[in-house]
Each structure stands twice: as structure tokens, then as C-alpha cells.
């Protein structure tokens, strides 16, 4: 009886392994050899990943997606459609990012297609949802925030925890917006304001962690040689 249980468990493990290996190789991807991608990550379509970027377990990336260098995508993130993601970007667990609406097709009111563009040193915190959102450099979308179609955050702008934008909303550069619907509560915020709100300065943290990812990758390569 014990022997039968062991045999069953062994068979189950053997059956799961090929599924993990196969999922990551569907499409003409361009993955930098220094990138660290967990074997459970699913890549479909055309996915480009830059140097020293790390993508954690359970993430699904499908469509035409470009992720720059030294970025970090945590567990169970979904990135779908056409998306451009910059360098030193942090995207945390359970975030959903999709490309947005086409223009004047079906019932879409978009004059031009929505664009999902995330600049450098951006911060997207746990549980956020984004539809065709544009984030300028150093902007941040915080915990469980929601960005409706064609939301645009200016450089250094912050959307607060649990907040939601409406369609076509603009949060100007270096403004702090909060609420549902989100309204600007403070403008001309500084890094001291960011540190007080986040407990750190997001753009500085993404740089720090991205450089650590590069250091760890180089150490691992040296050990393997």
C-alpha cells in the first residue's frame, strides 16, 4: 500500500514537469540571457525581456510585450495585449496590466487606440489593475488602485492606495491623487513626501534592487564557470 502511494506521487511529479518547460517557449521571444525567469512563467506571443530583469512564479505574459532591463515582475502578474514597460520598473504580486481599447471598433469610443506604456523607474504595487494606462518616468500606482482606459500619470505622479481613475483621466506630474474617483490632493510633491507615504522612495528602490539583481546574476554565472 505504501509502495503504491509512492509510485502515484512520483508519476504526478513526472507529468507536471513537461508542462512547465513547454509554456515558456511558445512564440518568437527575445529574452536576454541574463534575465531570470521562473520556469512556471507563461510567455505567449512576442515577448522581449531585457538584461537582468527578474520575473517570478505564476506570471502570465501574453501578446506583444516589451520589458526593459533591470526590472522586476513579481508573482502571479498578468500582462496582456500590447504593452511597453521600461527599465528599473517594479510590478508587484497580482497586478493586472492590459493594453486597452482599439479605436472606433465595436462600441469603443477611443479616437486612437489606447496605449499601455510604462516609463522608467515606475512602481506598480500589489493588486493594481491598469487598462491602456500610460505612466511617465518615476510615477507610481499603489496598492489595489485601478486605472480605467487611457489614464495618464505624469512624471513622478502618485495614485494612492485603493484609488480609482475614470476614463481618460490625467494626473499631472508630481501630483498625489487619491479617492474614487481620484482627485489631486497635493501637487509639487517631493521625494520627502514619497518617503513619508511609501516608506521609501520608489525610483531609488527600483534602482537599488535592479542593481542587486545584476550583481546576483553575475555571482551566479561566476560560480557556474
Measured CA to CA, the distance from residue 48 to residue 130 in angstroms comes to 20
Q: What are the residues whose beta carbons fall under 8 Å from the beta carbon of 5, sequence distance 6 or more? A: none
* Closest CA relative to residue 207, chosen from 95, 79, 68, 93: 68
pLDDT tens for 59-78 read: 999 999 999 999 999 999 99
Cα dihedral 217/220/224/225 (nearest 10)? 60
pLDDT at 13: 35
pLDDT band at 23 (very low <50, low <70, confident <90, very high): low
Average pLDDT of the segment spanning 111-131: 97
CB 91 within 8 A of CB 67: no
Q: Domain 2-224, CATH 1.10.275.10 — does that match?
A: no
pLDDT at 19: 36
pLDDT at 9: 40
pLDDT band at 112 (very low <50, low <70, confident <90, very high): very high
Domain ranges across the chain: 2-224
pLDDT at 222: 87
| pTM of structure | 0.88
pLDDT band at 6 (very low <50, low <70, confident <90, very high): very low
DSSP letter (8 states) at residue 157: -
pLDDT at 225: 76
Average pLDDT of the segment spanning 154-159: 98
Amino acid at each position: 500500500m505504501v509502495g503504491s502511494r509512492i509510485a502515484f506521487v512520483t508519476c504526478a511529479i513526472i507529468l507536471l514537469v513537461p508542462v512547465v518547460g513547454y509554456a515558456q517557449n511558445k512564440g518568437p521571444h527575445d529574452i536576454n540571457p541574463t534575465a531570470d525567469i521562473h520556469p512556471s512563467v507563461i510567455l505567449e506571443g512576442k515577448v522581449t525581456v531585457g538584461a537582468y530583469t527578474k520575473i517570478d512564479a505564476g506570471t502570465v505574459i501574453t501578446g506583444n510585450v516589451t520589458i526593459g532591463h533591470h526590472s522586476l515582475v513579481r508573482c502571479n502578474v498578468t500582462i496582456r495585449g500590447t504593452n511597453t514597460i521600461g527599465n528599473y520598473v517594479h510590478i508587484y504580486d497580482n497586478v493586472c496590466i492590459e493594453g486597452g481599447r482599439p479605436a472606433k471598433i465595436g462600441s469603443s469610443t477611443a479616437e486612437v487606440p489606447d496605449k499601455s506604456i510604462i516609463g522608467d523607474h515606475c512602481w506598480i504595487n500589489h493588486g493594481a489593475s491598469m487598462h491602456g494606462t500610460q505612466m511617465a518616468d518615476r510615477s507610481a500606482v499603489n496598492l489595489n488602485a485601478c486605472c480605467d482606459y487611457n489614464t495618464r500619470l505624469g512624471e513622478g505622479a502618485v495614485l494612492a492606495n485603493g484609488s480609482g481613475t475614470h476614463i481618460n483621466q490625467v494626473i499631472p506630474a508630481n501630483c498625489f491623487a487619491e479617492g474614487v474617483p481620484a482627485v489631486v490632493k497635493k501637487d509639487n510633491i517631493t521625494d520627502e513626501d514619497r518617503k513619508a507615504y511609501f516608506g521609501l522612495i520608489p525610483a531609488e528602490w527600483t534602482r537599488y534592487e535592479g542593481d542587486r539583481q545584476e550583481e546576483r546574476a553575475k555571482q551566479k554565472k561566476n560560480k557556474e564557470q
